[in-house]
Structure 1
Amino acid sequence: MFDKSLVHLFPFNGEFFAVDVNSGSLLNLDDATYFYLEKLEETDSKEEAFNLTKEKYGKEIAQEIQEEVNELIKDGVLFSKPPKYFESNLILKSMCLNVAHSCNFGCLYCFAKKGNYGGSDALMSFDVAKAAIDYLAKNSPGREALEVDFFGGEPLLNFEVVKKTIEYAKETYKNKNWRFTITTNGSLLSDEIENFLFDNDVSIVLSLDGDKSVNDKYRVFRNGKGTFDLVFPKIKKVAVHRAESGGYYVRGTYTHDTLEISKTVMDLHNFGFKYISLEPVVTKEEDISIKKEDLSILKKEYERLAIEYVNSQKDETWNFFHFNLDLEAGPCIQKRIHGCGAGVEYIAVSPDGSIYPCHQFDGIKETKLGDVFTGITNKELQEKFRKANFLFNKEECAKCWARFYCSGGCLANNYVMNGDIFKPYEIGCEIQKMRIEAALYVAYKLRELGIEVPTTQLSEKRDSVK
């Protein structure tokens, strides 16, 4: 009855919390109630939990706690019944256009192998881009809103095709509500480019790992020279231009030797950036990969960041992507039990028109689904991805307390680290869970303070960045 996968207990910054997995209820507990619930889960017995609590806190307190917990269980606030759900028939709605298998940077951790995905440098032609837009529009029945992410490599190396593609989509399929995003290293940004993107409501993800000392460790030119001095003024200019509208994220990557993430995020905030994301590197390269021994450091870092984040909101509200958590609403259960939709709702297109399940599978021949001219031909592989996108088809995810917050994790990370899209990447899961605990703490504290944090119109479920 008192399954640990139904209620998650966690301490945070000297306080105690319980989150009911099925209902989403979040409770701030005193130490005695926390102790009782811990023993309830450990023993699966109300009687034993009561007796242990009585020994430590006295009979009167133990009785009060047991009565309160029984009432919460009765009201469906704790150990609530699972919601009704079903495996949805996912329909295509978004596409990553990998318009450049080429990059002017040589970032040392890049999963895209410095931009060309292990092949030859290539730029997508407008003919391929048009065919991709046609494919998306014609294979998304019932969808009014469609998303296109321009990616690379460095997509601004192929800006003319980006520009023509946006104009083509809007002009040809006026019945669709188009949302565009572009991910860039910032080096080629100009007033002309930013004005076009801004005027066409194109959201922008700007890659920056932190201050100069952090950024220039891995974000370097092909000659090994750091990129901060070139890109920072350009990225800052975009952020200032979009100060009122939002529509941007400054997005960084951290590695084994850049684990001071609380300082990095606060540095980015102090630079004046209002929308920030920071992601762990996912790689098997031993010298930079996140290791199990790093997790205890990261847990302290996320706790420190959460505390600083809450305190800073009293002066000026700003947004850290992984602390976006709505205690009152949020996605419906059907969205929560399905992943990012890779291979089904979401696909990636390479410069030659090949279709892959997502941008991180680009160039992995065995994961090719088809192309934009003939459509999806590897139906068996697509069905495998459809199954993997359903949370309860992954045994470890189905039992995890964080299942309705992470929706089953990243299939690409699973494949890269385990060679199996159904097998969760363990270290990634641990980081995700500590971020969720921090986000729950933040949400509780901000609600207490009556503070609402601004959001921006980028995808909440997919990390469409390098």
Structure 2
Amino acid sequence: MEVQNFRKPFIHLFSCSTGYYLYDVNTDSILKINSDTYDKLKIDEGEAENEQIQKLKTCGYLKSSRVQISEHPATKLLPSLYKNRVGNLTLQVTQQCNLRCDYCVYSGKYYTRTHTNKKMSFETAKKGMDFILSHSDSCEELRVGFYGGEPLLEFDLIKKCVEYLEDKVKDKVIHFLITTNGTLLKDEILNYLIEKKFRITISFDGPKEIHDRYRRFAGSEKGSYDIVMKNARYIKEHYWDFFISNVGFNTVINPEESYACIGNYFKGEELFQDVYFTSGLVRDEGKKEKTTSSDQFVEEYNYEYFKLLMNKLGKIKKENTSVICRDQIEYLKLLRGGKQQNENIELPAKWHHGGPCLPGIRSLFLTVEGDLYPCEKVCENVELAKLGTIDSGIDIQKATRILNIEDLTSDQCKGCWAYRYCDFCIRYAEKDKNELKQCLLQNCSNVRKKIENIFKDYCILRELGYDFETESLRKGNQNERS
């Protein structure tokens, strides 16, 4: 394991096609430097200086300060937050599904969970809804999501929940959300979801041969592509406004497939133009056998991502980029947008890396059996990940442990240059505490590599004229697009 020298400047050096850079961890700033400064800062002793290094120090950069005590800044706020700010609830209305998707977390290939015939009773759902109603005084809006399995198998329960909330809530806006495989979106169900202005996310994985390979009906080899496409096209043709504003798609990409094949399909299919779209690789958290990416997949992804960057520079029209990677530029903007104008001076003595959200605040997840978890992504078989039960409420001590996951790896975290950008949270828990620590540390190098690549893309785009604050090219950098 790398030995950290806490007397050295807390920085990370990297280079790309536009020059040499340092990331100053204390100020959270990326600075362009000359090659001589780059070489001198790489010296282990850190004694060699030049005029630029002296200037950087004068301006407040190159401090060696590290976090001394691992504690999330919101730790002491948890009791108040859970009393007044719990406004997002996701109900696991069933663990059953009419499909058997190959990579689903219920497929048996994960430690997390498996398909069962368990379904949520209205009594349990009512307790969940009453919980957020009594713990959301500071929330102007409420969000209630329905999750499975396939949640529309419990359509009657969903209707009862909606009616219950509409009857109870008079002074807040309620948003209803559902994630569905799309096979049941017709007739009475569809009309009801439209009437109640549900936000619908449909799972859809690309061309017929790929979608049907992974998303098959239970008990058969029949794929679901045809019925999902039929239902989605019907919504767009007959309820266009609703489709554009309330329907989105999510694609789960298996890196063993051709990225170009999937991307070209979505780019050419009229149905998916101008709608909300997200995508992600097959989840590895909790997976018994990890997924590997082929060289072809990596090359094809990098090419499509390159075109996306070229679009931001005005070189390629948006319609010539792949819809399944457009959210990557949003991730880049989220991480670095506005950071160059911040007023960070130094890391505080007490802090926590950037991974965990406030457990249960962004999305409190209630299982069919009445257990509470931070969100639907965590492993339901790990006691460490449980917040409490709907009968006993949220356990502040458990929530504090989940929020302060850095306690497991604090010695390594405090000296890591990617400290502010680490995304480790309780979703990485597969079994017990000791295995979680090992899992986190095994993934550290991948996180650092990902963050460094984002920094490089950010620097190149800025150097070539893209302004992240206005999301446009600076004057003098506009070019004709092809």
TM-score category by the smaller chain? 0.7 to 0.9
**Contact persistence 2:357–2:403 (CA under 8 A):** no
Query: 2:55 is matched with which residue?
Result: 71
Spell out the pairing of 1:36-55 with structure 2 (5 A cutoff). 36-37=37-38, 39-47=40-48
Q: Looking at both structures, which has the greater relative contact order when contacts are Cα pairs under 8 Å and sequence separation is at least 6? A: 2
CA 1:13/1:224 → structure 2, altered by over 3 Å: closer, same or farther?
farther
Aligned AA for 2:146? F
Measured after TM superposition, the shift of residue 70 of structure 1 is: 3.8
Query: 1:386 is matched with which residue?
Result: 403
**Contact persistence 1:207–1:250 (CA under 8 A):** yes
Q: Match for 1:371 among 372, 379, 389? A: 389
**Contact persistence 2:56–2:62 (CA under 8 A):** yes
Query: 1:227 is matched with which residue?
Result: 224
> Percent identical across equivalent pairs?
24
Spell out the pairing of 1:10-25 with structure 2 (5 A cutoff). 10-11=14-15, 17-25=21-29
Q: Match for 1:106 among 74, 81, 100? A: 100
Structure 1 SS opposite 2:164: helix
CA distance in 2, matches of 1:209, 1:5: 46
Query: 2:479 is matched with which residue?
Result: none
Measured after TM superposition, the shift of residue 305 of structure 1 is: 3.7
Spell out the pairing of 1:9-408 with structure 2 (5 A cutoff). 9-11=13-15, 17-27=21-31, 33=35, 36-37=37-38, 39-47=40-48, 66-76=50-60, 86-88=73-75, 89-90=77-78, 91-92=81-82, 93=86, 94-113=88-107, 117-118=113-114, 120-140=116-136, 142-190=138-186, 193=189, 196-197=192-193, 200=196, 202-222=198-218, 223-235=220-232, 241=240, 249-255=248-254, 257-258=256-257, 260-261=258-259, 264-265=262-263, 267-271=265-269, 272=273, 274-282=276-284, 283-286=286-289, 289-291=290-292, 294=293, 303-313=302-312, 314=314, 315-316=317-318, 320-324=326-330, 325-326=333-334, 327-329=336-338, 337=354, 339-342=356-359, 346-361=363-378, 363-364=380-381, 366=383, 368-376=386-394, 381-388=398-405, 394-406=410-422, 408=423
**Contact persistence 1:101–1:122 (CA under 8 A):** yes
CA distance in 1, matches of 2:254, 2:31: 34
**Contact persistence 2:365–2:376 (CA under 8 A):** yes
Deviation per CA, 1:74-110, whole angstroms, max 9, x where unpaired? 3346658679973432334333210121111111121
Structure 2 SS opposite 1:133: helix
CA 1:380/1:217 → structure 2, altered by over 3 Å: closer, same or farther?
same
Query: What runs of 5+ residues in structure 2 fail to find an aligned partner?
Result: 345-350, 473-482
CA 1:119/1:2 → structure 2, altered by over 3 Å: closer, same or farther?
closer
Measured after TM superposition, the shift of residue 243 of structure 1 is: 8.9
Query: What runs of 5+ residues in structure 1 fail to find an aligned partner?
Result: 51-65, 455-466
CA 1:368/1:296 → structure 2, altered by over 3 Å: closer, same or farther?
same
Measured after TM superposition, the shift of residue 276 of structure 1 is: 2.3
Structure 1 SS opposite 2:156: helix
Deviation per CA, 1:240-266, whole angstroms, max 9, x where unpaired? 8469965554323334523x5466456
CA 1:43/1:194 → structure 2, altered by over 3 Å: closer, same or farther?
farther
CA distance in 1, matches of 2:409, 2:135: 25
TM-score for both structures, normalised by structure 1: 0.72
Structure 2 SS opposite 1:8: strand
TM-score for both structures, normalised by structure 2: 0.70
Root-mean-square deviation (CA), in Å?
A: 4.4
Measured after TM superposition, the shift of residue 150 of structure 1 is: 1.7
**Contact persistence 1:6–1:20 (CA under 8 A):** yes
CA distance in 1, matches of 2:63, 2:236: 44
**Contact persistence 2:255–2:294 (CA under 8 A):** no
CA 1:214/1:395 → structure 2, altered by over 3 Å: closer, same or farther?
farther
Measured after TM superposition, the shift of residue 191 of structure 1 is: 7.0
Aligned AA for 1:358? C
Measured after TM superposition, the shift of residue 203 of structure 1 is: 3.1
**Contact persistence 1:204–1:248 (CA under 8 A):** yes
**Contact persistence 2:409–2:441 (CA under 8 A):** no
Structure 2 SS opposite 1:186: coil
CA 1:36/1:23 → structure 2, altered by over 3 Å: closer, same or farther?
same
**Contact persistence 2:355–2:424 (CA under 8 A):** no
